[in-house]
Structure formats: structure tokens, C-alpha cells
Amino acid sequence: MQRTGKEVALWSIALTLVLLYALIPVILIISLSLKKPADIGDGKFLPQSVSFDNYDNVFSTDTFNSALRNSIGIALIATVISIALAALAAYAITRLEFTGKALILTGALAIAMFPPISIVGSLFDLWRRIGLFDTWLGLIIPYMTFSLPLAIYTLSAFFREIPWDLDKAAQVDRATPWQAFTKVMVPLAAPGVFTAAILVFIFAWNDFLFATVLTSTDASRTVPAALAFFTGASQFTDPTGAIAAAAVVVTIPIIIMVLIFQRRIVAGLTAGAVKG
Amino acid sequence: MAEIVFDDVTKRYPDGYEAVKSMDLEIADGEFMILVGPSGCGKSTALNMIAGLEDISGGELRIGGEVVNQKAPRDRDIAMVFQSYALYPHMSVRDNMAFPLTIMKVPKEDANKRVEEAAATLDLQQHLDRKPSQLSGGQRQRVAMGRAIVRDPKAFLMDEPLSNLDAKLRVQMRAEVARLQDRLSTTMVYVTHDQTEAMTLGDRVAIMRAGQLQQVASPMELYNHPNNLFVAGFIGSPSMNFLPGRIHDGVLKLPVGDIAIPDSKRAQLGDTSADQPLIVGIRPEDFEDAAVVGSDSRGATFRTTIDVLEAMGSEYYAHFTISAEGHELQENAELRELQEDAGGGALATPDSFDVVARLDQTSRLRAHDTAEIWINAAKIHFFDPESGRSLAAQQ
């Protein structure tokens, strides 16, 4: 298709505007992270001289390193458990008729819409009493709970697309229900599994509310919460540059995660159909 | 290998609908049994009950002498080919065929050998490493059969395996299925709604209607001696023509005229002097162009105008309309169902009947000709209009 010069020009302007709108905050934070502490307040958009001092600084503090460890660990564990439970629940919901099925689905949706802020206070109290306060488990449980409904909905949409005949074929081929589920259903729903996994991981990774309220030390504080407690290299340095550097670092795992899974999602979607 | 026995088997759904009603059927070891009938007749439900994919509400199902009502599909040792083929899209052809063996933990080497053998049987060797999505319909169908035969199961179940193929391929695969069954001589139960498949494939054919077995017999037996109106109309293509008739003073009165009842038929009619209404069935090939038939053959002739003449090469199909002239075809549920199955919604108009005749290729008749048509009186079928039963079967 041939485009006229005018069309090309208009599209270029539109795309540039969208890109600027989306990327300026990102560029700004990268720029801040690369400035020398003394230059932070110079009012320039781009750093006059590039320095990685802030990054050195960030990684030399225990606060950030342990926060990063906590974030990765908690988000991964929450994702794995949530997806495993959601896959089982979604399979049952799509394949079985049982009483209370509608109730479960409505309940799941209600939980997904429930504002976390309304329970975080009582959760704080409860967690302190039963000893879950400031532990990994204390964060994994709420992350799992709030991400499960979304994962169940996503996965049941994918399971519903898988022809019922495949379950039956697996059963006749002497597979146990568990084998049919793990060898046939889950591989076929892989795109759905990865989609759900990304969503759950991002939710857990980005959460700030639970992370600030339910943690108090480096033992379980995740990066979003830890950022708020950043001081600079010393008590008396402005932490802006360090926070910017940490913010950049914390974005990287998400980008990697999406890039890896995106490829899997596309691969899954183009796999063979049942009949032609 | 094993025989399969339905002993008073019933399938009742929670809403009370009975898909299969007290079915009694014995399928012998190594037999090729066809379950055929219009959609919704319960044939697939019956098959799924053998597979264990549907619960049995009543009666007993035995495979190889063993009651399997409560057994899970995986414990019944049967293989099934689905209408949709149900190949696992994420596995290669090899892995698809090896899947049941992997599940059974057959040693890798042995499994590989069996897959290769099955692939050779089905001419799939060069496709073993491809994915199902890269195969044509016929090849996928063969992979589905391959997955069934690698296991050497007690019985094969086939659920309309050819209905997704185009007409030409279907004829080819039909022959292949027949050859396969012949070579393996494993019990096979084959469900179809296509009477041609039923006639050409099976050792015996079980015709079902509304959850009930109508007749179980060899294809030729079904064709020549149908038990009732439904079987008579379902088997055969083009299907049997039905006309209202009356026996009066030893003469069969049809809308086309009177026919002397041949001696061979007299016995089944009983008292021929009474004025009893009948439904008369005449197969298309039992009509003929009177000019082709020698004058010595027994039967009756009548004159009609040919509406449509279809040249089939080896023969002609002549369509013509017979006006009822006071004869009335009685309402009959079986006839109505046949009509619906054939695609025609409403019954034939009460004052005329459409008839198809199969004429010899030497016939010189043309469309719109007024023709003299001969009826082979010895081949006429008589049915009771109330019950739909064949009078021949009532003896």
C-alpha cells in the first residue's frame, strides 16, 4: 500500500506525540538517576555529565539489596501458588457441573473488586497477633488472594476454548484425570497460564499498600515500600538520585518478564488446531 | 479382544429424558457393528456408554464378560476415534500416537516400534514428526486411528469418524476402515448417521430411533426384510417410496391402480377379503420403464408423467407425482421422522405423493414424457399403518 507524503507526515507527528507522552516520565527518571547528586536540582532535562554513582550507591546499601530479594521471592512464590490454584479451579469450573458454581464465580469477582485499603487495617492487627507481620508469608497470602480471581477468570476463558473431546480422548487413552490435566489441558492453555502469570506477578511486584503496612524491616520489605525509606549515601544527602536509580532497577525485571512471556504467549496462540 | 453386551441398558438424563431405552444388543468378538440412525437417536450416547464417557442409568454393560458399569474409561481398555479426531495439538504425530503407550509406561523402545508399525499400516511414516495442524483432514483422521491401534485394545469405538471429510476422501477412508478392521479383527463399534456407510462397512447394522433399537441385522437383511417403516425408509438410497394402499377382495388397491397380489405375499396379508388399509413400500428399483421389462414378467403397469429425470450413468432416477385419488396416507410417527431426517420439514401434501423410480439405462424416456411404469409386485413391502410394523415381520 502506497502512502502519500502527507499521510506519512501526519502519522509521524501523531506517533511522536504519543511516544513523548509515554516516555518523558521514564526518560526523566533515567536522567535523574544518571545525574551527580550535586546536579539534581540544576533544572536540566538531561544530565550534564553521566555518572553511575547513584547505582553504585543503591546496590551498596543493604536496604535495597534485601528489598530486591524480597520483591523477587515474594512475587514469584505468590505467582506460582496463585497460578497453580487458579488452574485447578478454572478447570473444575469449565468442566464440571456442581452446586455453588455460580456462587464461586460471583465471589471471586467480588474479591477482585474489593478495595484492599478497606481490609489492610484489620489485616495489620491480625498479622501481628498471629505472627505473620513482617514475614514473606504475610505478603504472599494477600497477593495470592487478590490475584486469584483474575487468574481464575483468565484461565477459565482459555480452558473453555479447549475442545471437550480432548479430555475424553485422554481418558480413553487411559490417562488419569490428573494426567489428562497436566499433559493435555495445561500445555494447551499455556498462553493463558503465562498471561495470568504475568498479571499476577506484576500485581505482586507493584504493590505498595500491603508492602508498606504489613512490613517493618528489611526481612520482608519489598522494593516499592523500601524506596520510601531511602536515604542517600549518608543521612544528609538528598536521596532523589538514589530513588531514581532504584526505580529504574526495579522496572527491569518486569520488562524482562514481559518479553520472555510475550514470546511464549504468541507461540501458544499459533499452535495447531483440532480439526480443519 | 472381547464381546460387548448391552443388557437392558438405559440412559436417563437428570431432566428425565431417556436417550437410550432398555437396549439389548450383543456384539460378538471381532464383529464390526454399526450403530446408525438420525441425529438424536441415542447412537452416540450408546457408544459413549461403552467408552465410559457417559454413566449408565440402568441395566448392565459387559465387555469381555465383565460388568463395566462402574469402571472408568481408562480401566476398560477400549480405544476411540472421535468425530473431531481429538488429536493433541501440542504434540507431534509420533507423540500423539505414543500417548496411550506413554501413559501405560510401555518401554520407550517398544513404544517406538509399535508407533512405527502403526504408521506403516496407515501410511503415515513421513509425517511422524509433524504437528496435527500441518496435516490434511484425511491424514489427521489416520493419526486418530493410529492412536487407537497402537494399543491393541479390546475394542475400537468410532464416533462418526468420516463425517468431517469431503465426499471423495470419505469413500477412500471407508475402504481403509474396512480393510483395517478386517486385518485386526478386533471388535469394532462404529456410529454413523450415513446409511451408505452403515450398509457398506458393517457385519451387522443396528438401527436406532428415539433411543430404541429398531432392527439388528446384516445390511442385506435390513434392505430386503425391514422390520418396520422406519428401517425400510432409512436404509436405501434413494429411499423407499411409501404409498397408501387397501386390500379389497384379494386385490391391492393403490393410487396408481389395482395390483393382483402375488401368491408369495398372500400369506403375510392374512385375510385378503377384508377391507384393510395398509402402507405400501416400493423400492425405487422395483419400478421400471415398462418398455424395458419383458411382457412376461408379473406385475402391474400404470401411466404417469415424468417430472424430473436424473441421469446417473448406469441408471436413471425418475421423479414423478402420483395423485392420491381418495387414498390417504395415515399419519405415522416413523414416517414423519424419516421425512424430517431427509430434510423435508412437512409431510407430503395429502393429495399427491412424490415417487422416485430407478430406471434402466436403456430406457428411452425423457423428462415430461408420459411414461408407462411397471411395478414389481413380488417385491412390494406391506406395513401396518398403526404400528408401522412390516406385515412380513409379524409372522
Give the domain ranges of chain A: 1-51, 55-269
pLDDT at B344: 54
- Amino acid A169 reads A
Q: B114: which chain A residues are within 8 Å (Cβ-Cβ)?
A: none
Band of the pLDDT at A37, cuts 50, 70, 90?
A: confident
pLDDT at A217: 87
Dist. CA B313–CA B246, nearest whole Å: 36
- Per residue in B246-266, is it b (16+ CB within 10 Å) or e — as a string? bbeeeebbbbbeebebeeebe
Among B53, B137, B157, whose Cβ lies nearest the Cβ of A276?
A: B137
pLDDT at B345: 46
User: Inter-chain contact A276–B74, Cβ cutoff 8 Å?
Assistant: no
Per-residue pLDDT tens digits for A183-227: 998 888 888 888 888 889 989 999 999 999 999 888 889 988 888
CB atoms within 10 A of CB A126: 13
Contact B330, B385 (CB under 8 A): yes
Q: Which is it for strands B187-192 and B32-36: parallel, antiparallel or unpaired?
A: parallel
Q: What is the mean pLDDT of residues B63-79?
A: 91
User: Inter-chain contact A272–B78, Cβ cutoff 8 Å?
Assistant: no
User: Inter-chain contact A163–B80, Cβ cutoff 8 Å?
Assistant: no
Per-residue pLDDT tens digits for B80-113: 999 988 999 889 999 999 999 999 999 999 999 9
> pLDDT at residue A18 above 70?
yes
More confident residue, B307 or B250: B307
Instruction: Tell me the CATH number of domain B4-234, given options 3.40.50.2300, 3.40.50.300, 1.20.58.220, 3.30.479.10.
Output: 3.40.50.300
Tell me which residues of chain A, numbers 111 to 150, contact chain B at a CB-CB cutoff of 8 Å: none
Please spell the DSSP secondary structure of B142-198, one letter per residue: HHHHHHHHTT--SEEEEESTTTTS-HHHHHHHHHHHHHHHHHH--EEEEEES-HHHH
pLDDT at B95: 93
Homologous superfamily (CATH) of A55-269 is MetI-like (1.10.3720.10)
Mutation pick from A95, A158, A168, A172 vs chain B, by most beta carbons of B within 10 Å, is A172
**Which residue does chain A place closest to B74, by CA atoms?**
A174
User: Inter-chain contact B90–A166, Cβ cutoff 8 Å?
Assistant: no
CATH 3.40.50.300 segments of chain B: 4-234
Per-residue pLDDT tens digits for B134-179: 888 889 989 999 999 898 899 999 999 888 888 888 888 888 888 8
**Which residue does chain B place closest to A186, by CA atoms?**
B90
> pLDDT at residue A270 above 50?
no
Nine-digit cell at B170? 470419505
> pLDDT at residue A25 above 50?
yes
Contact B278, B229 (CB under 8 A): no
Band of the pLDDT at B44, cuts 50, 70, 90?
A: very high
Is residue A171 less than 8 Å (CB to CB) from chain B? yes
Q: What is the mean pLDDT of chain B?
A: 87
> pLDDT at residue A274 above 50?
no
Nine-digit cell at B26? 450383543
CB-based contacts of A172, cutoff 8 Å, min separation 6:
B51, B52, B53, B73, B74, B78, B79, B80, B157
Chain B residue set in contact with A, beta carbons under 8 Å: 51-53, 72-74, 77-80, 82-90, 99-100, 103-104, 131-134, 136-137, 140, 147, 151, 157, 164
Band of the pLDDT at A157, cuts 50, 70, 90?
A: confident
Dist. CA B234–CA B205, nearest whole Å: 12
> pLDDT at residue B79 above 90?
yes
Q: What is the mean pLDDT of chain A?
A: 85
Band of the pLDDT at B6, cuts 50, 70, 90?
A: very high
- Amino acid B177 reads V
Mutation pick from B81, B99, B130 vs chain A, by most beta carbons of A within 10 Å, is B99
Per-residue pLDDT tens digits for B188-228: 999 999 888 999 988 999 999 999 999 999 999 999 999 99
Q: A168: which chain B residues are within 8 Å (Cβ-Cβ)?
A: 51, 53, 73, 80, 82, 86
pLDDT at A276: 34
Query: What is the ipTM metric for this complex?
Result: 0.80
pLDDT at A275: 37
pLDDT at A232: 59
CB atoms within 10 A of CB B370: 10
> pLDDT at residue B305 above 60?
yes
Per-residue pLDDT tens digits for B330-359: 777 787 778 777 765 444 556 778 889 999
User: Inter-chain contact B99–A173, Cβ cutoff 8 Å?
Assistant: yes
Q: A275: which chain B residues are within 8 Å (Cβ-Cβ)?
A: 84-85, 137, 140, 164
pLDDT at B322: 85
Measured between alpha carbons, how far apart are the two ends of chain B, in Å?
37
Positive/negative CA dihedral, B302, B303, B304, B309: positive
- % of chain A at pLDDT higher than 90: 33
pTM above 0.90, yes or no: no
User: Inter-chain contact A271–B90, Cβ cutoff 8 Å?
Assistant: yes
Per-residue pLDDT tens digits for B20-39: 999 999 999 999 999 999 88
> pLDDT at residue B78 above 60?
yes
CB-based contacts of B230, cutoff 8 Å, min separation 6:
B207, B209, B214, B334, B337, B338, B388
Among B82, B104, B131, whose Cβ lies nearest the Cβ of A272?
A: B131
pLDDT at A71: 93
Contact A155, A166 (CB under 8 A): no
Please name the residue that has the C-alpha cell 516520565: A25
User: Inter-chain contact A274–B87, Cβ cutoff 8 Å?
Assistant: yes
